[in-house]
Amino acid sequence: MSGQDGRHAGAMPVTRRRLLRLGLAILPGLLGAKLLSRWMPGLGEDAALGTSDLPPAGALPPGPQGGPAGHDWAFVCDTTRCVGCGLCVEACKLENHVPLDPEYNRTWVERHVVTDDGSVFIDSPEGGIHGFPARSTAPGATGRAVRQSFFVPRLCMHCENPPCVVVCPVSATYRTEDGVVLVDADRCIGCGYCLVACPYGGRYLVPSGGQTPAGTPGVADKCTWCYHRISRGQSPACVEVCPMGARAFGDLNDPESRVSIALQEQRTQVLRPALGTKPRVYYLGLEAEVE
Amino acid sequence: MSVTIAHQTIRIDPRAAWGATKSELARQPRRVRWWLAFLGLLVLFGAYGDIASIAPGDEALGTTPTVEWGILIAAYVFFVVTTSGLCLVSSLGQVFGIEQFRPVARRAVVLALVFLLAGFLVIALDLHYPIRLLFGVVLSPSPFSAMWWMGTLYAVYLAILLLELRGMFTGSERLARAGSTLALGAAIVAPSTLGAVFGVLVARPFWHGSVVPAYFLLTALLSGTALLGIVFFLVNRLELRGHGPATERVVPALGTLLALVLAGTLFLTAWQTIIGLYGGVPGLSEATQALVVGPLALRFWIVRVLLGLLVPLVILVLPRPRTALGVPVASCLAFVGIFADRIGFVEAGQVAPGSAASGVVSHPLAEYAPTLVEVSIVVGALGLVGLLYTLAERFLDLAEPASRDHAERPGRGGATDESRAGATGHAGAKVPAHEGAGVL
């Protein structure tokens, strides 16, 4: 008993000094952890920390009202023109260092085959990057009478009401003033919630090994409408290379842009409108069944 | 340097610690050593997966862009929802004062802590940047994100559990009661928020809606009750600390509760399945079909429904099969069934991919197969849970104070026994006192 008392008497009372010392001791630990989490993506990879698609400040060309807020970007896919060549998929992978594995795509092309009985068969071999084999049809449609067949370019919808933005637990994904949904690769923890939240399958988690968009494996990635290009007055890579003009990108604030004209003169459609996501990628010439 | 815990001094010194561990292990009976060795092996097997999955790339896990949530997420749900269930059952005795459930408190809370830690371990390994998570949820929180709430609530839950344990083991009645009430609140809010993580997703019709939060709450009770049914069967069978009439009464009470919860779960599962198959609601009908007649059907019908719901319910409800082993067997089956349910639930929600292909080979249903790394992480976490709990049983006093009373005086039952045997009891008690007085 007395031994215990003696020990307690000898122990240091909790003073302000002791508390401060404890706090100072913890601080390097916290900082160390923060540094470690920054270094971890750089281990073995090209240590391009903090690189993102954002251009340096001042590089943004002014819109009609000036600055990024002046722009109101939108995208149009014309399925009556798309021939499924896959050049858009390849251009995107080259421009943005998208992982070369076929299951990781920022954009891809689907072939939709509608048979006489109304069934739909869809395929997308390797995202359509090598086009679609000649004299072939979607698996399951072989031998059936085909009523309609067309190609549907797919990419992130950059929704006005994006379900991926609202679910991120660390606010790593956000929608810019000019309407582009982006991911902060330094903040993303790789939980995959935005992947399961996206109704359009637009996202993937960056694998390690091979080329990666921002040098950071394990984070969420998706189409950015080539933000580094559009902020300099260029168009996204996929729009640029499309030989059929099936993709269009532009500013809805500019009544002369291709997208403004398309929305004014044609009947457009978005994918899965019932979900309330308000996509900013509009489609022309879709059959009602496209999901 | 040394530290004093529960009146025992422990020297913090690696050699002394190793020596103490060795001598403590040597002192254990043979059966316990074999059991600990087996659990240790599971943990070692898990260590392989734990280390292999640290590098933030995708290769170690079998997840793909279309099925990004795999068995690690299912295991996380399994562990933390069981935690909540354990606290719910414990609150029946501690907060609602139902006498039969009083003995479960300490064991339930210790198990809850162990399961919660295992859940955190599993989810931290699934995340690619867990340290960023800790900074991110504090520095850049997202109050509209169900996952942010879920993480925050379970962190608070951990604090509440520690508080409750402190109250229980230092004999502070007030702290223990406050802890139990807070734990009850957390045990309701946290698993339903976890259900909301799935329920808010419009993109996944199989998960979307208000059923999932309620379903998680109900199945929390299911897994918590089942686990306690197994544990208390072992408490009585192996004559662990605090066993006695009170702990023997717990088992049939848990059995009744389990039967009720099984019936409720069966009801919900049946209706969800029927409604999912009704009409061709895109996304929902493909997912339900995959679960019921598709690639997930075998596990769903045999493990989840037959072994996990129907057989235990029959065992517990029909008088004929109800033997002394009835409750533990039903509990084991229900527990395994719940684990299968978590995996099926997570997979079914993702098999109907949002996009037709997005470059993935399998179509129209997405495919997922867990890798060895994922399996080893889950097995290791289960081994860790067993190991930590076994050590707790050996070295902590997990007997509830009330049940210790009952164990010492086997004649005295509950209040009714006392009042009924009032006259004889008093007479019986008086006689020794008189004798004592006489002797004095």
Closest-CA distance of chain A to residue B14, Å: 22
Q: What percent of chain A has pLDDT over 90?
A: 53
pLDDT for residue B426 is more than 50? no
pLDDT for residue A247 is more than 50? yes
Within 8 A of A209 by CB-CB distance, chain B residues are 57, 59
Length of chain B in terms of residues written: 440
Distance CA B71, CA A135 (A): 41
Q: Which residue matches tokens 């003009």?
A: A245
Closest CA to B279 of B269, B289, B270: B289
pLDDT tens digits, residue range B308-330?
999 999 999 887 655 678 899 99
Q: Closest residue of A to B356, CA-based?
A: A122
pLDDT tens digits, residue range A11-23?
556 678 888 888 8
Distances (CA, A) of B102 to A57, B107, B116, B436: 65, 11, 22, 34
Q: Closest residue of B to A129, CA-based?
A: B359
Between A163, A197, A218, which is nearest B56 by CB?
Answer: A218
CA atoms within 13 A on the CB side of A181: 30
Closest-CA distance of chain A to residue B48, Å: 20
Closest-CA distance of chain A to residue B189, Å: 18
A17 touches chain B (CB under 8 A): no
In a 3-state reduction of DSSP, which class is residue A79? coil
Within 8 A of B363 by CB-CB distance, chain A residues are 122-124, 139
A42 touches chain B (CB under 8 A): no
Please report which confidence band the pLDDT of residue A39 belongs to, taking 50, 70 and 90 as the band edges.
low
Please report which confidence band the pLDDT of residue B360 belongs to, taking 50, 70 and 90 as the band edges.
very low
Give the best residue of B193, B358, B367 to mutate against chain A (max A CB count within 10 A).
B358
Within 8 A of B357 by CB-CB distance, chain A residues are 108, 110, 122-124, 127
Within 8 A of B69 by CB-CB distance, chain A residues are 192, 196
| A125: preceding bond cis by omega (within 30 degrees) | no
pLDDT for residue B335 is more than 50? yes
Within 8 A of B136 by CB-CB distance, chain A residues are 169-172, 187, 189
pLDDT for residue B15 is more than 50? yes
Question: Average pLDDT for residues B99-124, to the nearest whole number?
Answer: 94
Contact between residue A193 and residue A236 where contact means Cβ atoms under 8 Å apart: no
How do the domains of chain B map onto residue ranges?
Answer: 66-371
Within 8 A of B280 by CB-CB distance, chain A residues are none
Determine the straight-line distance between the first and last CA of chain B, rounded to whole angstroms.
51
Closest-CA distance of chain B to residue A101, Å: 9
Q: What is the pLDDT of residue B322?
A: 55
Lowest mean pLDDT among A38-42, A52-56, B34-38: A52-56
DSSP A69: G
How do the domains of chain A map onto residue ranges?
Answer: 16-284
Q: What percent of chain A has pLDDT over 70?
A: 81
Q: Closest residue of A to B67, CA-based?
A: A196
Q: What is the pLDDT of residue B62?
A: 86
Distance CA B291, CA B303 (A): 12
Contact between residue A154 and residue A203 where contact means Cβ atoms under 8 Å apart: no
The token duo for B226 is 């089942």
Between A110, A127, A189, which is nearest B129 by CB?
Answer: A189
Within 8 A of A276 by CB-CB distance, chain B residues are 202
**Structural Rg of chain B based on CA atoms:** 24
Q: What is the pLDDT of residue A13?
A: 63
Within 8 A of B133 by CB-CB distance, chain A residues are 169-170, 189, 191
A33 touches chain B (CB under 8 A): yes
Closest-CA distance of chain B to residue A104, Å: 7
Top CATH class of A16-284 equals: alpha beta
pLDDT for residue A51 is more than 50? no
Q: What is the pLDDT of residue B208?
A: 94
Q: Closest residue of A to B360, CA-based?
A: A103
Closest-CA distance of chain A to residue B63, Å: 10
Length of chain A in terms of residues written: 291
Contact A122 B148 (CB under 8 A): no
pLDDT for residue B241 is more than 60? yes
Contact A208 B57 (CB under 8 A): yes
Please state the ipTM of this predicted complex. Answer: 0.83
Between B140, B202, B282, which is nearest A187 by CB?
Answer: B140
Q: Which CATH superfamily is domain B66-371 in?
A: Formate dehydrogenase/DMSO reductase domain (1.20.1630.10)
pLDDT for residue B280 is more than 90? no
Between A34, A196, A275, which is nearest B69 by CB?
Answer: A196
Q: What is the pLDDT of residue B407?
A: 46
Contact B364 A122 (CB under 8 A): yes
Q: What is the pLDDT of residue B429?
A: 39
SS3 readout for chain B: CEEEECCEEEECCHHHHHHHHHHHHHHCCHHHHHHHHHHHHHHHHHHHHHHHCCCCCCCCCCCCCCCCCCHHHHHHHHHHHHHHHHHHHHHHHHCCCCHHHHHHHHHHHHHHHHHHHHHHHHHHHHCCCHHHHHHHHHHCCCCCCHHHHHHHHHHHHHHHHHHHHHHHHCCCHHHHHHHHHHHHHHHHHHHHHHHHHHHCCCCCCCCCCCHHHHHHHHHHHHHHHHHHHHHHHHHHHCCCCCCCHHHHHHHHHHHHHHHHHHHHHHHHHHHHHHHHHCCCCCCHHHHHHHHHCCCCHHHHHHHHHHHHHHHHHHHHHCCCCCCCCHHHHHHHHHHHHHHHHHHHHHHHHHHCCCCCCCCCCCCCCCCCCCCHHHHHHHHHHHHHHHHHHHHHHHHCCCCCHHHHHHHHCCCCCCHHHHHHCHHHHHHHHHHHHHHHHHHC
Determine the straight-line distance between the first and last CA of chain A, rounded to whole angstroms.
76
pLDDT tens digits, residue range A91-146?
999 999 999 988 899 999 999 888 888 888 888 888 899 999 888 888 878 888 99
Within 8 A of B193 by CB-CB distance, chain A residues are none
Distances (CA, A) of B334 to A82, B118, B230, B312, B315: 53, 20, 10, 6, 11
Written as one letter, the residue type at B2 is S
Written as one letter, the residue type at B198 is F
Angle, in degrees to the nearest 10, between helices B372-395 and B30-52? 140
Task: Give the torsion sign (CA, B43, B49, B53, B54).
Answer: positive
Question: Average pLDDT, whole number, for chain B?
Answer: 85
Closest CA to B78 of B326, B354, B345, B293: B345
Within 8 A of A170 by CB-CB distance, chain B residues are 132-133, 136-137, 140-142, 148
Q: How many whole angstroms from its chain centre is CA A115?
A: 32
Contact A208 B63 (CB under 8 A): no
Closest CA to B250 of B419, B105, B76, B95: B105
pLDDT tens digits, residue range B126-177?
988 888 998 899 999 999 999 999 999 999 999 999 999 999 988 888 999 9
Closest CA to B165 of B223, B111, B120, B115: B111
Which residues share a beta bridge with A121?
A113
Between B63, B137, B201, which is nearest A169 by CB?
Answer: B137
Q: What is the pLDDT of residue A43?
A: 38
Q: Closest residue of B to A212, CA-based?
A: B57
Q: What percent of chain B has pLDDT over 90?
A: 58
Q: φ and ψ at B6, to 5 degrees?
A: 50, 50
pLDDT tens digits, residue range A227-245?
999 988 899 999 999 999 9
Between A4, A169, A192, which is nearest B142 by CB?
Answer: A169
In a 3-state reduction of DSSP, which class is residue A129? coil
Contact between residue B145 and residue A167 where contact means Cβ atoms under 8 Å apart: yes
Please report which confidence band the pLDDT of residue B13 belongs to, taking 50, 70 and 90 as the band edges.
confident
